A and B are shown apart, each in its own frame.
Chain A
Amino acid sequence: MSNELLNEVTFFVLSIFVGIEVISKVPTILHTPLMSGTNAIHGIIVVGAIVIAAGANSPVTIILGLVAVTLATTNVVGGFVVTDRMLEMFKGRQSPKPATPVTPTK
């Protein structure tokens, strides 16, 4: 196994644990926004799409690159915007902290 591949596998395995750990305490009401947010993050494929499109030099690679960049950009832009729209609804709507009862000094 080459050094680079070994590094990649290391990142892969550690990312699995981080991914699970980081969202383990999500409350039910945030399931939909969280799903939508992770959906936007896998829009990182746009980086891959741009890498393959950059070197396009034949009809086949041009079409592949064009479609891949279009789809990936839709994913990343739509994903972040729709998540933001959802979360906008929650703005300033956190349940108010229970007012601390004023304990009269005796």
Chain B
Amino acid sequence: MTTLIQIAYLVAAVLFILGLKQLSSPKGARNGNFIAAVGMVIALAATVPLLHFTTAGVIIIAIGVVIGAAVGAIGARMVKMTAIPQMVALFNGVGGGAAALVAVAELLRFGQHPSFTEAFPSVFSIVIGSVSFAGSMVAFAKLQELMTGTPITYPGQQIVNGILAALILGFVIAVLAVASIPFSFISLMVLALVLGVAFVLPIGGADMPVVISLLNAFTGLAVAASGFTLNNFALIVAGTLVGASGSLLTKLMSDAMGRSLANVLFGAFGQTRTGAAATAGIEGRSVRSGSAEDIGTLLAYSQRVIIVPGYGLAVAQAQHAARELAELLEKRGVEVSYAIHPVAGRMPGHMNVLLAEANVPYEQLKEMDEVNDEFKNADVALIVGANDVVNPSARNAPGSPIYGMPILNADQAKNIVFMKRSMRPGFAGIDNDLMYDPKTLMFFGDAKDSLTKLVAAVKAA
């Protein structure tokens, strides 16, 4: 019978690997997700028949599955496309929490003196799972704007974090070497939760995708550790697969932003001051702003327009209005394309998802490398709610927090129309020189309203 379980787990593991493989190619991505889900069902179906259930066990499993499935399915169905990043954070966090709780339950069962090979993976899972849970919740709060998205720093922060880490290490040693009692591993869990919060607080909202990806890898490792505790191969293999691929994905994401992972995670320390100095330097400069009519005419009589969509477009749900404007312009013979920065929106690939939802033809979406040389031939670069991804200081201000990030060359277009809600700096909290460029016309307002006004103005032109 255990042989059957092992074979089922092997099949599940193969399906997870094939699923991941498919998920990373555009053709089979959706199939890949389905294949992995089948693997999950097989692993569950193989596990359940061999368990000895208490009555209470049956009841709590039934309740837990019903509530969890309802929350998961409804949450995932109802969430707006723009809020997907924080939804992923939430689902990741609860997974980490579950891994930590499984390890706590096992430590209780092992008694006061578990062997090292029982205790070590358990405390590992408790610490990493709890950090992932608490960190994901902070990431969720930041993206959902329940709290400020700007990095939160305070004096002595690193010392506080150091003390936390030392305390955690102390309790780990206590559980492993002295005695595994509830007081020690519950304290361990609480401290790890605090560490998770402290870890994510100083990271800015714009960097949350990278953090969520890292915490996703953490949860994978916590799950693998719980697998060692339970001697369960399915958990070990699936958790490790996620831990490894998640770590690589985290690196690929920070590469797409042109930054090192260390810079993303710890960059807030010591950089707030340079940011402030940069802001002070440009105070008092003037910007030009245009009316809907001015801009409508400019667009209508252009030959090439490149739309640069950003998070502002996503927030305002303006992807449909953008498509309407583009279609109108095309009818007048204007060539329209969309320049997609790899990290436009709040997650790499997020903008492609949103524009696809609005039925924007795939051929009009151009990736950064493809479109960057076309800006100098464009009559208008229409920036809709993007900011950091067109900020020239990434190219020419070594002190800037985003220095070195590859950006879209919107500043090379003949005219720049910058649609923005206000002069407020972008998500990364950095002022944008492009707004003060003499070629730039500002157009203030909510992205959707503004685009609708432009549609009317183009019709009239």
Query: Which residues from chain A sit less than 8 Å from chain B, CB to CB?
Result: 2, 4-5, 8, 11-12, 15-20, 22-57, 60-62, 64-91, 93-96
Contact = CB atoms under 8 A, between A and B. Distances in A.
Given A28-B367, A69-B61, A81-B77, A74 B71 contact: yes
Given A51-B230, A65-B60, A77-B76, A16 B347 contact: no
26 contacts: A22-B17, A28-B256, A29-B367, A30-B29, A35-B246, A37-B32, A38-B242, A39-B88, A42-B239, A45-B226, A46-B98, A48-B99, A56-B57, A69-B60, A69-B65, A71-B101, A75-B68, A77-B68, A78-B72, A82-B87, A82-B88, A83-B33, A84-B34, A88-B30, A89-B356, A96-B363
Given A32-B353, A45-B98, A64-B108, 17 more contacts: A15-B224, A23-B245, A25-B24, A30-B25, A38-B241, A41-B39, A41-B241, A42-B223, A47-B43, A48-B227, A54-B51, A64-B105, A66-B64, A68-B105, A75-B98, A84-B34, A85-B77
Contacts, number: 381
B30 A62 contact: no
Interface stretch (B150-158, B213-221, B411-419): B213-221
B57 to A, nearest CB: 4
* Interface-central residue, B73, B223, B231, by most chain A CB under 10 Å: B223
Interface stretch (B247-255, B279-287, B289-297, B421-429): B247-255
B219 to A, nearest CB: 5
Contacts of A72: 64, 68, 94-95, 98
Contacts of A61: 105, 108
Q: Is the interface of A mostly helix, strand, loop or mixed?
A: helix
Interface residues of B, number: 112
A22 B24 contact: yes
Contact of B236 (A12, A17, A76): A12
B240 interface: yes
B29 A23 contact: no
B347 A37 contact: no
Nearest to B37: A80
Contacts of A32: 84-85, 88, 209, 347-350, 353
B237 interface: yes
Interface of B: 16-17, 19-21, 23-27, 29-30, 32-34, 36-37, 39-40, 43-44, 47-48, 51-54, 56-58, 60-61, 63-65, 67-69, 71-73, 75-77, 79, 81, 84-85, 87-88, 90-92, 94-95, 97-99, 101-102, 104-106, 108, 117, 209, 212-213, 216, 219-220, 223-224, 226-228, 230-249, 252-253, 256, 340, 342, 347-350, 352-353, 356-357, 362-363, 367
**Top 8 A-B pairs, shortest CB-CB distance:** A73-B68, A19-B244, A69-B64, A78-B72, A77-B72, A15-B240, A26-B24, A75-B95
Contacts of B363: 95-96
Contacts of B231: 4, 8
Nearest to B244: A19
A88 B94 CA distance: 25
Contacts of A37: 19-20, 23, 32-33, 36
Contacts of A80: 33, 36-37, 40
A30 B87 CA distance: 17
Given A32-B350, A48-B235, A49-B98, A90 B76 contact: no
A50 B64 CA distance: 9
A34 B249 contact: yes
A45 B209 CA distance: 23
* Interface-central residue, A19, A24, A69, by most chain B CB under 10 Å: A19
Contacts of B249: 23, 26, 31, 34-35, 38
* Interface-central residue, A43, A49, A66, by most chain B CB under 10 Å: A43
Contact of A30 (B23, B68, B227, B228): B23
